[in-house]
Structures are given as structure tokens and as C-alpha cells.
Structure 1
Amino acid sequence: MASNTAPTDGGSNEVEHDHGLVRVYKDGRVERPFVAPPLPAGLDPSTGVDSKDVDLGDYSVRLYLPPAATNAPECKQLPVVFYIHGGGFVAESVGSPPGHRFLNSLAAACPAIAVSVEYRLAPEHPLPAAYDDCLSALRWVLSAADPWVAAHGDLARVFLAGDSAGANACHHLALHAQPGVKLKGAVLIHPWFWGSEAVGEESRHPVARAMGGRLWTFACPGTSGVDDPRMNPMAPGAPGLETLACERVMVCVAEGDFLRWRGRAYAEAVTSARGGGEQHGVELLETEGEGHVFHLFKPDCDKAKDMFHRIVAFVNAV
């Protein structure tokens, strides 16, 4: 999936594209300079959660089984959290240390069966490859083909969750889940959405607006631009937000994240599409003084713990 190799004989160190998370050289090599070595699946001693990887062809999934699934017979049927990692659709994996630790903790705390998708990355596999992999993986989970899901998962309580690009993909899946499927909820953490027109207090400067969509057009070369409905769910002609196939939606935003206003606008638009009022099923959590996906890199800070507990409460709400 990822290529971080040294140049071959006659190769070039001349960079053709550098988007921070991913660097492409003119000889075709791809590097992801900030991606830490992945952690393997297996028993996590701090939470007691077991995990395993399942190869499904073009993609794979990592499943997490908490101790509650087998230690307490009365708790065997657990909610299922279907998680999609971030990284701009160009970086990270199910084994990325912050995400793997987060899912061990989340599976134990809920408790829940968690499923994380190892989707194909751009530029080797441009979008919509990642969307297709995630949708296929969700349908695989809903089929209860895996024994952990079949024995311990409550398929009437399936939640989508993801951070950044993963939250973007959650929105896509909530629109395109197989007919008749009604998901219990979706948790969008610092969702990566953008658009040509500024919302809230986003910068109006043309250069800033163009920079906000630069990685998107790289990952999805066939896109119509930042008002592609996959990147801008509020764009003219985008699918109606009232069609999201989930009962409840939680959107998390952070004060220091340039995507903050876009996430707020999304939460407000979903609320409006559902008629507003007290029963709209939309929860917005704003964290002051923190930046994009801070919870993954500072999991022990008070604000990360507060967000974590709010997500657990959202999953466990009746």
C-alpha cells in the first residue's frame, strides 16, 4: 500500500508533489515521512482487548474484541463501532499507533466490537478507491461473516466513526449504505470537509481557500473540485442530508482546527435537514484550545478524556 523506498539505480531525488503527509518523486517513488511504524494486532495488556487482522482482498480490516464480550455472558451482544482512520486519504493505517491505542481504549470502555478499515491509499490508488473499500467493508461487517461479529456484535447497534478524512468517509457511507440499512449513529471527529465559499469565520482569502482543497484534488484527481459533494456536503446539488442512514449524529470540532467552522456548519445543516427541534438527534462537541485530532496525540489530557467519555456516552445512549 505505502511505498517509502530509497531511489533505485538511476532514480531521482527530485520531488514532483509534496503535500506534507505524502511526497511523490519524479521517478514514481512515494514517501510518507511522518507515518510511524505500525503496531501489530494482538492482545493489548493495558485494556485486555484482543485484535486481529482479516484480509479481504483489496483491503483488510482490524477487529477489536473487548474482555466484556467473553467475561460476562449477559454482555455478549455489544454495539459495533465501524472506524475509519484519517490521514487525508494518503497516509496512516489501522496500525498507526495513536489510532490503534484509541480503538483499544474505545472498545474496552464502551464496551464494543470495533472494526477499523485498512483502505487503499492515494496516490497509488486514487479516490474513490478508499470510499469503495470502506463501503465494501461495512457491508462485510453487516453480513456478520466474521465469527467475532456474529457471536458478540449487535447489528442493530452499528455506529460509524472516524477522524478527519475518516469522518469524511463516514458521511459518504451514511449516504450510501445498502438499501434498508439503518445505522444507529455516526461520530465525525474533526471532519475534513471544504468548499469554494467560506463558512463561519473561515478565511476568505483566495490563496487560503485554494490551499484548503489542494490535498483533496491530489487524492481525487477525477474530482470536480472542492464543491464535489464528497468534499462539500452542503454544495448545491449534493445529496440531501435528511437521507443519512443513521439515527443520530455526533460532530466533534476543535477551536484551533482550521476545519472547525466547516464541521459546525455540517452539524447545523444536518440539524436543519432533520427539521430542527429537540429530536433532531445531532450533537455538536466543541473543544476549546486544541487543534486537529489532538485526542490521538494527547490522549491523557483532560480535554481528550472529556471527548472520549462523550463518545462512549453517545454509543451507549438508549
Structure 2
Amino acid sequence: MANSPPAPTDPNLDRLGLRRNPDNSIIRVAETFAKSPACSDPNYPVLSKDFPINQGSNTWARLYLPKIYCDSNPNIKLPLLVFYHGGGFIIGSAANTILHELCSDLARYTPAIIVSVEYRLAPEHRLPAAYDDGFEALHWIKTSGDEWLTEFADFSHCFLMGQSAGGNIAYQVGLRAALRGGDLLPLKIQGLVLQQPFFGGVERTVSEARLANDEVLPCGSSDLMWELALPLGVDRDHKYSNPRAEIQPEAFEKMKGQDWRVLVTGCEGDPLIDRQKDVVKLFEENGVKVTGRFEEGGQHGIDLTDKSRYRTLARLLADFIGFQV
């Protein structure tokens, strides 16, 4: 029997290091980003180490300790940032070099203790798997007993932070945490930092139409990511993609009652900018303190690709979370 002809190439799949087989199944064929090990060099200003969270689902976390700051300020506990990486729920890792460098700089210059979460990826593990892993990481932080957390992290000063799809995860995990905050004590969430969060919907926004063929995140790529990440049989107006699809007023009420603060960042060169601005409106409509910080120009993922922005982002975080060196 002759072999089946290869499936036609798809540039949007190629971007993700994926391939569609003739039977329509998806396989991974390439690693999209270089990876770096955790840093244990005592001469380096920021140390890092990896810990398993759930061995059954192969989730783990990379902790970052700004040793240079902790050594000079041994009696001060630092804010805790729980970070979720981007990648459209499909690609990316807490071990990616570009993310490792970002978290190291944020830990040093904010300064803060950072827990970068490795969660399960789609399409092997569709949503809500990433949300489940993101919330489980909070329970792990609370119970791990690791000395970096117990000695240097202020559990009462914790923020959830995510970039792109990670911003979506931080939003969804934040809704759960607001409703179930008592389960997390002594860990106390004080707010969210959503960097260019990845949201979607069936109807195109003005910015999506304007930037439909964007070089970084064309609409075809984002549509494909949602196709592979959302539960089978739903469209982009599902609540995981479109925050307007199913608003949870009780969660927003809890955020407001617990005095949460939210920061949403974006730039006009990102096709998702209109959706990010609408999330700001959603928080405002529900009485949650929110700041939208939107810039001209730029592109999706600029905070990762432009290293000159790392320290600026660290200063922004320090101002927002209310911690000054």
C-alpha cells in the first residue's frame, strides 16, 4: 500500500513547531525556544532552582532568589510574584532562556521572590489543564516549606503575573483564588499583573482587523492556538477565551472586598490591544481597582524580545506592588 501523502504545510503550525498529520492529528516536531538550567552559582546576583509540583502531571516551578538583595537586607521579606509564561497555551516553558533571563532581572531589580510555573500544554492537555496547574502551584507555594519562600517571601504580599497566554492564566487563576482565598492562607493574593494578556472572541475587534496579518501574531495564528487549546466543540466565545462570555460577579466582588489591584499592559502594535483595553473596562465595571498602561507602537511579546525593557518593567512592578528598595 502506498504511503499517505504528506499533509500540506501550514505556516501557523510551523510557528508553533507543530505538524498536522494526514489523519488531522497534531504532533510536535521542533523545540521552539532554547532552554537554560537553573542557576546555583553563588557569585551570581540571582539564584534559581527547580522544584516538582505534581509528578503525575509533570508540573514544576523555578524559584528565583535575588541573593544580592537578600544578603544586604536579611531582615526584610520580599513580595512574591507567581509568574505564568506565554506561548498561546501551546508552547513555552519556565526553562526557556528568554524567560529565565526576564525572571532573573525582575527578581533582582523589582526586587521580588519569583515562582515561575511550568504548566501542562495543549493540544495534549486542553484548557482548563493550565488553569488547574496554575492554581495547584499556589497550594504548593503555601505548603512546600522551602527555605527561600519561608525565609524571604512575604506571603501576605503576593501577586499573580503572566505574559500573553500567561496573562490569561493569571486572570483565570485569579478568579478562582478570589473565590477560594481562605484555602490559600497564609498566602494572600493582592492583585494581578497581566502583560499583553491573550484573550479572544469570534467577532474580530478593530485592532485585530487592522493587524490581521501582523508578523508576530497574525489572526490565523491566534485562531489556531485557540482551536488547539480550548475544550473540544467550543468556539472563541467560550469563557476561557472571551471574558465577556460568562462574567463571574461574585469573584469580582471578592476581589473588590479584598482590595485587589490589577495592572494590564499592552501596546498599539499588538492585534490584541482592543481586547486588553476591554478587560480593563470589565474590571472597572465591577469595581476592581485597575490600571491600564498602553503604549504606542510595539508588538505582541515586546517585553520578552526587547531586553532593554527589563529594568523598566521591574520599576513598573515595584511601583505597582508598592515595594521600594
- TM-score, with normalisation over the residues of structure 1? 0.83
CA distance in 1, matches of 2:211, 2:28: 31
Which of 288, 294, 298 matches 2:302? 294
C-alpha distance 81-93 of structure 1, shift in aligned 2 (>3 A): same
1:74 corresponds to? 75
Q: Which runs of 5+ in 1 are unaligned?
A: 1-9, 275-279
The 2-side partners of 1:164 and 1:289 are apart by 17
In 2, the alpha carbon distance for the partners of 1:73 and 1:46 equals 17
CA distances 1:16-66 after superposition (whole Å, capped 9, x unpaired): 875321413428673364622210001478961000000121201000011
Q: How much has 1:306 moved relative to structure 2?
A: 3.5
CA contact (8 A) 2:83 2:162 kept: yes
What's 1:164 paired with? Answer: 164
How far is the alpha carbon of 1:238 from its aligned partner?
2.8
**CA 1:84–1:288 in structure 2 vs 1: closer, same or farther (change >3 Å)?**
same
Output the CA distance in 2 between the equivalents of 1:313 and 1:105: 16
Say if 1:233 and 1:239, in contact at 8 Å, map to a contact too.
Answer: no
**Does 1 or 2 have the higher relative contact order (CA < 8 Å, sep 6+)?**
2
SS at match of 1:115: strand
Give the direction of change, closer, same or farther, for the CA distance of 1:226–1:244 in structure 2 (3 Å limit).
farther
**Matched-pair contact (CA < 8 Å) for 1:48–1:66:** yes
- The CA distance in 2 between the partners of 1:288 and 1:220, in whole Å, is 31
Any conservation in 1 of the 2:82–2:116 contact (CA below 8 Å)?
yes
Contact 2:195–2:264 under 8 Å retained in 1? yes
> Could you tell me which residue of structure 2 aligns to residue 40 of structure 1?
37
CA distance in 1, matches of 2:8, 2:146: 43
Question: Which shifted more, 152-161 or 181-190?
Answer: 181-190
Distance across 2 between alignment mates of 1:218 and 1:244: 32
How big is each residue's C-alpha offset from its partner over 1:64-101, in whole Å with a ceiling of 9 and x where there is no partner? 011223432232x1111000000011111011111111
User: Which of 214, 224, 247 is the equivalent residue of 1:238?
Assistant: 247
Task: State the shift of 1:128 in Å.
Answer: 1.9
Higher-helix-fraction structure:
2
Shift of 1:239: 1.7
Pick aligned residue for 2:227 from 201, 212, 217:
217
Cα distance in 2 between the residues matched to 1:16 and 1:133: 32
Cα 1:16–1:310 shift into 2, 3 Å? same
Report what 2:49 is aligned to: 52
Aligned length: 300
Q: Secondary structure at the match of 2:308?
A: coil
Task: Please state whether the residue corresponding to 1:69 is helix, strand or coil.
Answer: helix
What SS is found at the alignment partner of 2:81?
strand
Counterpart CA distance in 2 for 1:223 and 1:153 is 42
Give the deviation of 1:227 after TM superposition: 1.3
Task: Among all aligned residue pairs of Structure 1 and Structure 2, give the percentage whose two residues are the same amino acid.
Answer: 31
Structure 1 match to 2:191: 185
**Contact kept? 1:188, 1:252, Cα under 8 Å:** yes
Specify the SS of the correspondent of 1:103. Answer: helix
The question of 1:283 aligning with 2:278 is answered no
Once superposed, what is the RMSD of the aligned Cα atoms? 3.0
